[in-house]
Amino acid sequence: MLTRRLFTAGLTSLFVLALASSGCGKKSDEIPVGAYLSLSGSDSTFGTDTRDGIELAVEETNAAGGIKGRKVKVLYEDDKSTTQEASQKVRQLIDRDKVVAILGEVASSRSLAGGLIANTSKVPMVTPSSTAVEVTKGREWVFRTCFTDDAQGEVAAKFVKNEMKKNKVGVFYAAQDTYSSGLARSFKDEFKKLGGEIVVDKGYQKGETNYTTYLNELKAAGPEVIFVPNYYNEMVQIARQAKQVGLDGSRFVGGDGWDSANLIEGAGAELEGAYFTNHYAPDVPWPNSKKFLAAFQGKYKHEPSSLSAQGYDAAMLLFDAIGRATEVTPEAIRKALAETKDFQGATGTMSMDADRNANKPIVVVQIKGKKFVYATQVMAH
Ligand code: PHE
């Protein structure tokens, strides 16, 4: 009896082995791509919205026959909105899962951490939305499908000075955050160059919950506009507390970090009339965006955020590069990514420049009636 059982077990494992090596399971034939995102933690809508966009791209690509006749498989890892987990997850995806390329992150601080691992491991990474200049700088294996904060800060400053016609501006930002402080810096540089005056300049501690003292100081300086380049979770608190100290929300101008349905839910009324620079808005007047909007709404039954559109574009651009690559290896994919020209995305037409940044228009969005509404678009340089 015992021997017979052993014999059967032996046969079964032999059979499983044979199946696996013949590739019958088809699994081994899929192209493995990794994605590390903030699927939980303080910036969770960044991660989950981005994943929704990537999923749509995977679905469309596989339905159309995959890439080089193979299906693409995206393996998702949650970094819980922390830089430490971001590094660990990228290492896992490379060492354990042997991915050929990586998508992620959204927040610049985490793309910096994860990008270091991808770059030293020589596996190409494409961040959909990290705008801080340092993210791709000197890193041959790190690409982005968005503009940089040099461009974004410049556009925001020009908009405030030339379109809103304001000259006295305050700046309020998360002092230790790569994205927030970098964008504040590029805004200030450009605004001063244009002849404007920065009447108050304040950095706050990331994770702060009571901003009243700061807000009173900002108010006392009498700025016509306050530029606050931070993330939505902190902005909700700031906008609510600003109202209490008598600072009108329409005086605030922000950056792409404001893009979240949670901003509208939490402080849509307080921020009525405020503007921010972004990658996308559901009503941008671009043909490719309309196609994406319809497909996204069909699948998820709600409008896509900028993050979803960016996730979709980063994945589509990467899949396009894998398709053009001479073989499905990290090195060949890196080369194809660098050669990307006039890729038609939902967030605009983009080409990779020599520094691995996408050249594309910047959208200005206004908060109106608890909605993000397209106001205008500007090409940065
Ligand atoms: N640009 C932000 C960063 O670099 C991330 C972000 C992009 C947030 C788009 C919201 C929308 O950290």
Q: At 227, is the pLDDT very low, low, confident or very high (cuts 50, 70, 90)?
A: very high
Residue 108 CB less than 6 A away from ligand 1: yes
Which pLDDT does position 3 carry in this prediction? 45
CB atoms inside a 10 Å sphere around CB 201: 15
Instruction: Ligand 1, residue 109: give the atom nearest the CA.
Output: 12
Task: Give dist(CA 145, CA 316) in Å, integer.
Answer: 10
CB neighbour class for 340 (10 Å; exposed up to 12, middle 13-18, buried from 19): buried
- Tell me what pLDDT residue 18 has: 45
Q: What is the DSSP letter of 25?
A: T
Give the ligand 1 atom nearest the CA of 128: 7
168-224 confidence digits (pLDDT tens): 999 999 999 999 999 999 999 999 999 999 999 999 998 889 999 999 999 999 999
Ligand 1 pocket test, candidate residues 109, 127, 130, 278, most atoms within 8 A of CB: 130
Which structural domains are found in the chain, ordered by start? 28-147+285-360 (3.40.50.2300), 150-278 (3.40.50.2300)
Structure-model confidence comparison of residues 218 and 7, the more confident one: 218
Question: What does the pLDDT average to over 352-381?
Answer: 92
Nearest CA to ligand 1 atom 5: 107
Mutate to test the pocket of ligand 1, among 38, 43, 129, 308 (most ligand atoms within 8 A of CB): 129
pLDDT of residue 207: 80
> pLDDT digits over 118-146, tens only?
999 999 999 999 999 999 999 999 999 99
**Given this model, what pLDDT does residue 378 score?**
86
Neighbours of 177 (CB within 10 A): 25
pTM (two decimals): 0.90
Give the per-residue pLDDT at 335. Answer: 98
pLDDT digits (tens, 9 = 90+) for 14-25: 444 444 444 444
The alpha helices in 253-325, defined as continuous H runs, are 261-267, 287-300, 306-324
Does the CB atom of residue 365 touch ligand 1 within 6 A? no
Q: How far, in Å, CA of 344 to CA of 176, rounded?
A: 36
- Residue 381 pLDDT: 61
The pLDDT assigned to 206 comes to: 84
**Higher local confidence (pLDDT), 32 or 22:** 32
Residue (of 368, 154, 199, 360) closest to 272 by Cα position: 368
Give yes or no for a contact between 11 and 226, defined as CB atoms under 8 angstroms apart: no
Using a pLDDT cut of 70, give the percent of the chain over it: 92
pLDDT at site 292? 96
Phi, psi of 167 (to 5 degrees): -115, -25
Pairing of the two strands 101-103 and 142-144: unpaired
Q: With 70 as the cut, is the pLDDT of residue 13 above it? A: no
CB atoms within 10 A of CB 98: 11
Distance between CA 275 and CA 161 in Å, rounded?
Answer: 13
pLDDT of residue 26: 53
- What is the average pLDDT value for the chain, to the nearest integer? 93
- The model's pLDDT over 45-99, given as tens digits with 9 standing for 90+, comes to 999 999 999 999 999 999 999 999 999 999 999 999 999 999 999 999 999 999 9
Amino acid at 251: R
List the structure tokens of 340.
């990307």
Find the angle CA(371)-CA(374)-CA(380) to the nearest 5 degrees: 135
Stretch 89-110: mean pLDDT: 98
- Which amino acid does the sequence have at 48? T
- Nearest of 135, 163, 165, 147 to residue 278 by alpha carbon: 147
The token duo for 255 is 């950056």
- Alpha-carbon distance 374 to 268, whole Å? 16
User: What's the Cα-to-Cα distance from 20 to each of 23, 94, 274, rounded to whole Å?
Assistant: 5, 22, 57
Note the pLDDT tens digit of each residue in 322-332: 999 999 999 99
200 bridge partner residues: 170
| Per-residue DSSP letter, 20 | H
pLDDT at site 379: 79
Q: Which of 131, 149, 236, 357 to mutate to test the pocket of ligand 1 (most atoms within 8 A of CB)?
A: 131
